[in-house]
Amino acid sequence: MKGSFSDFPDAVEVISGNPLKLDSMDQVETRYFNFAEPSENLDLESGEKLGPVTLAYETYGCLNAQKSNAVLICHALSGDAHAAGYHAGEQKPGWWDNMIGAGRAFDTDRYFVLCSNVIGGCKGSTGPASLNPATGKPYGLSFPVITIRDMVEAQRRLIDFFGIERLLCVAGGSMGGMQALQWAASYPQRVRSVIAIATTARHSPLQIAFNEVIRQSIMADRTWRSGDYYDYGPPDRGLAIARMIGHITFMSEASMEQKFSRNRTQVLKGIPFDPEFEVGGYLKYRGNQFVKRFDANAYLYITRALDYFDLSGDRLISPDGVRDARFLIISFSSDWLYPPSQSQDIVRQLKKGQVDVTSCELNSSYGHDAFLVETEGQTTLIRNFLSSSHER
Amino acid sequence: MKGSFSDFPDAVEVISGNPLKLDSMDQVETRYFNFAEPSENLDLESGEKLGPVTLAYETYGCLNAQKSNAVLICHALSGDAHAAGYHAGEQKPGWWDNMIGAGRAFDTDRYFVLCSNVIGGCKGSTGPASLNPATGKPYGLSFPVITIRDMVEAQRRLIDFFGIERLLCVAGGSMGGMQALQWAASYPQRVRSVIAIATTARHSPLQIAFNEVIRQSIMADRTWRSGDYYDYGPPDRGLAIARMIGHITFMSEASMEQKFSRNRTQVLKGIPFDPEFEVGGYLKYRGNQFVKRFDANAYLYITRALDYFDLSGDRLISPDGVRDARFLIISFSSDWLYPPSQSQDIVRQLKKGQVDVTSCELNSSYGHDAFLVETEGQTTLIRNFLSSSHER
């Protein structure tokens, strides 16, 4: 397979390792990997083909000579390739900076950490807002159906390009955890270990229900125009509602009580039914912020990929699959979106397949958001798990 | 106080009891009680006044000579006065027909049962879709802020009109339970017993959060026009989304799993992102059905009343309040919208106030909807509770 780096001067050196050693992790940048030849088109689960494809990705730490220390980080629904460090001029680090870096859970002194934006998204990888080469206009709804398997397939190309035969680990929370599980199902021989956090092997009807309302709220916005809004302005109001719904499910009852209780806001006069309680004001704010950084069609495509996800039964570990990958399954006590019971289901499946699995339900009041903020408990578990995986 | 019946030929007979004896409960009709004189205006909790006021109500069974057998049923968010029996020509009985009737939990052979539509609603009682006498046009957002206390205040006028000094019982589920608790707080001397089902003494931040998104989704519909849509057509799409959100919270994870699992629907070609799973199709159907029978502004006003509701601390039973009303508090194991823990909070408050309280958490997989469908368990509890209240 060919493939090319854009915005990246010395690809050869990357693979040999040194230039990406970032001692401070202070400054990182997103890079782009393209596979553009017709022969390189992605064969999607739907039967359709997708190409050319760009993957936005970042790397932290050095790939060792044996290429045996690579850890692939997979992001959640609205995440991106910028998992750690700082972009030039920005105040906020990547979304999992508390977990990735020198001395951290994913220790960049020891491991070569990669994170790429999923296809179907809108953070640099090819998605419905990308230009359709057949028309020269954004794909919109002519973008093909994407599944979690397809996201993993695109990542596999990137891993191939780096010449990594076997990942030390694939890790992620929420949708990132699904991708990690999918790696084990799609390429059992190419992962030594899997860390799946706050996730499920199968989207439940409740999870589908939330996503359905999320999609309907985007489509109910009359400016959505069947996905063909790029020349007119996006369906901001619908997308903001969608994100508000999401945010409710990311928190726990306890964290809402602690953070907001029934505290009132200052209501703006002249705005009827402006939120009167802090919790409502917070949700509205988060919804309105979100529309500045996310594409509504990408939200439709990715939530659908989530809903399709089903590695229940023997689909996670096929009877003839390789069984020497190890698994670490982490859940959080107050997570009601991807509750501990779903992690227990994963563990049961793995044990039935006679797979080496460690699991832990961490106590947290942060609900589903816990995987982003509960640094200490996760660090202990992940550091030990990675060390023992590395030494095997 | 004056007051008049419209659509009701012989009010005097009502009070004496016989004409409303409905042996079969087969056919009932909604009646209307008006208080229209300026002196009869409702003093609202906000400080504003509301009038003229119409209350839609139904009654079942006979009021006895002592007027000691009256049970007031309070409905939930989207309920109405039609709690039991059949309207002429309709196939579907009232919303709590399984609980109200001869030999049922609220036994119309023994009790005189009343149910009235809340003010602020849209099922016959005065609400934002009613004509504002000052303008001759629908109130829209010029309708005053309504609280649960105001709803109870309007019901109190109806009870006065019937000459009932003390209700044998006030009962309801969800928002109906809040009204029942509010009766005990507002008029402790006028209720002998209270049945509060699947409810709370205080809307939590999570409950407020869902209602906030519900309101925002209505207002995000550009046809809402700041509530002034009556001449143009209602914000159906926004209201449908709102109701879909609500429906998710009415069910339980177990009931969704049982009813829908991950079953697929037949997708209509040409409708992009049409629901592909049964659970999504169901929600969309329910949302679209709902807009035919409910006013969007009423949904805004009533959800706000819910969010304001807070009888926590000593507000439920004031230190100088009468304490001889008895309480029955019922919750359902799988109800995560008004979870058993909130019922336990009510019980704790009542016990602290040295009030006679019985409570029960019924096992059910129906989530919040359980109060509408779990006939058997509720019937046993309520029948015994009412009997002993009546005999005291």
Find out whether A242 and B241 touch, Cβ atoms under 8 Å: no
Strand partners, A359: A329
Flag whether pLDDT at B351 surpasses 70.
yes
**pLDDT cut 70: percent of chain A above it:** 92
Predicted local confidence at residue B320, as pLDDT: 64
Based on the fold, state whether residues A163 and A196 are members of the same structural domain: yes
C-beta atoms of A213 and B248 within 8 A:
yes
Based on the fold, state whether residues B280 and B322 are members of the same structural domain: no
Whichever domain contains B140, its CATH number is 3.40.50.1820
Full domain range(s) for residue B102: 4-203+310-391
**Average pLDDT, stretch B251-260?**
96
DSSP A122: S
Give the whole-angstrom CA distance, residue B328 versus residue B346.
Answer: 10
C-beta atoms of A284 and B336 within 8 A:
no
Partners of A141 on chain B (C-beta within 8 Å) are: 272-273
What does each C-alpha distance from A247 to A232, A294, A303, A365, B252 come to in angstroms?
A: 27, 15, 14, 15, 19
Closest CA to B345 of A257, A106, A92, A326: A257
| Arithmetic mean of pLDDT over chain B | 92
Q: If you write DSSP's letter for every residue of A239-260 in order, what string do you get?
A: HHHHHHHHHHHHS-HHHHHHHT
**Average pLDDT, stretch A60-84?**
97
Annotated binding site of A for substrate: 243, 369
Q: Which of A222, A226, A259 sits opposite B272 (nearest CB)?
A: A226
Tell me: the pLDDT tens digits for B262-291? 999 987 777 889 999 999 999 999 999 999
- Cis peptide before B52, with omega less than 30 degrees from 0? yes
Burial class (CB in 10 A: 0-12, 13-18, 19+), A223: middle
Higher pLDDT, A257 or A3: A257
What does each C-alpha distance from B104 to B24, B115, B381 come to in angstroms?
A: 12, 16, 12
Find out whether B176 and B368 touch, Cβ atoms under 8 Å: no
Annotated binding site of B for substrate: 243, 369
What does each C-alpha distance from B304 to A277, B46, B175, B215, B238 come to in angstroms?
A: 10, 13, 12, 9, 17
Find out whether A99 and A141 touch, Cβ atoms under 8 Å: no
What does each C-alpha distance from B118 to A210, A385, B76, B297 come to in angstroms?
A: 30, 59, 9, 14
Based on the fold, state whether residues B93 and B215 are members of the same structural domain: no
Tell me: the pLDDT tens digits for B214-243? 999 999 999 999 999 999 999 999 999 999
- Single residue among A274, A306, A338 that ends a domain in this structure: A306
Q: Mark whether B174 is an active-site residue.
A: yes
> What sign does the CA torsion over B344, B203, B55, B159 have?
positive
Partners of B211 on chain A (C-beta within 8 Å) are: 280
Weakest-pLDDT range from A17-21, B201-205, B253-257: A17-21
Whichever domain contains A227, its CATH number is 1.10.1740.110
Based on the fold, state whether residues A185 and A104 are members of the same structural domain: yes
Query: Confidence class of residue A20 from pLDDT cuts 50, 70 and 90?
Result: very low
3-state helix, strand, coil in chain B (%, to 5): 40, 20, 45
Based on the fold, state whether residues B218 and B322 are members of the same structural domain: no
Based on the fold, state whether residues B42 and B154 are members of the same structural domain: yes
Based on the fold, state whether residues B43 and B119 are members of the same structural domain: yes
Tell me: the pLDDT tens digits for B184-206? 999 999 999 999 999 999 999 99
Q: What does the block give as tokens for A293?
A: 């950084």
Partners of B205 on chain A (C-beta within 8 Å) are: 253, 256-257, 259-262, 277-279
C-beta atoms of A280 and B141 within 8 A:
no
Q: Which of A215, A238, A310 sits opposite B262 (nearest CB)?
A: A310
Residues of A involved in catalysis: 174, 335, 368
- Single residue among A306, A331, A366 that ends a domain in this structure: A306
**Average pLDDT, stretch A198-204?**
98
Residue B359: enclosing H or E segment and its boundaries?
strand B357-362
Predicted local confidence at residue A6, as pLDDT: 37
Q: Mark whether B204 is an active-site residue.
A: no
Partners of A215 on chain B (C-beta within 8 Å) are: 273
Based on the fold, state whether residues B139 and B278 are members of the same structural domain: no
Higher pLDDT, B317 or B131: B131
**pLDDT cut 70: percent of chain B above it:** 92
Predicted local confidence at residue A390, as pLDDT: 82
Tell me: the pLDDT tens digits for A308-329? 999 998 899 866 666 789 999 9
Based on the fold, state whether residues B172 and B185 are members of the same structural domain: yes
Give the whole-angstrom CA distance, residue B33 versus residue B56.
Answer: 6
Based on the fold, state whether residues A73 and A165 are members of the same structural domain: yes
Based on the fold, state whether residues A160 and A238 are members of the same structural domain: no
Predicted local confidence at residue B271, as pLDDT: 81
Rounded (5°) CA angle B364-B367-B370: 65
Does ipTM come in above 0.90?
A: yes
C-beta atoms of B202 and A310 within 8 A:
no
Flag whether pLDDT at A284 surpasses 50.
yes
Flag whether pLDDT at A19 surpasses 60.
no
Q: Which of B238, B244, B307 sits opposite A213 (nearest CB)?
A: B244
Flag whether pLDDT at B367 surpasses 50.
yes
**Average pLDDT, stretch A230-242?**
97
Find out whether B50 and B157 touch, Cβ atoms under 8 Å: no
What does each C-alpha distance from B300 to A175, A315, B78, B312 come to in angstroms?
A: 34, 46, 12, 23
- Single residue among A306, A334, A358 that ends a domain in this structure: A306
How many domains does chain B divide into?
Answer: 2
Based on the fold, state whether residues A386 and A341 are members of the same structural domain: yes
C-beta atoms of A220 and B238 within 8 A:
yes
Are β-strands A100-101 and A106-107 bridged in parallel, bridged antiparallel, or unpaired?
parallel
Helix (H, G, I), strand (E, B) or coil at B291: coil
Which residue pairs from A98-101 have beta carbons closer than 8 angstroms and sit at least 24 positions apart in sequence? A98/A373, A98/A375, A99/A375, A99/A378, A99/A379, A99/A382, A100/A25, A100/A60, A100/A73, A101/A25, A101/A60
**Average pLDDT, stretch A172-188?**
97
Closest CA to A79 of A194, A216, A171: A171
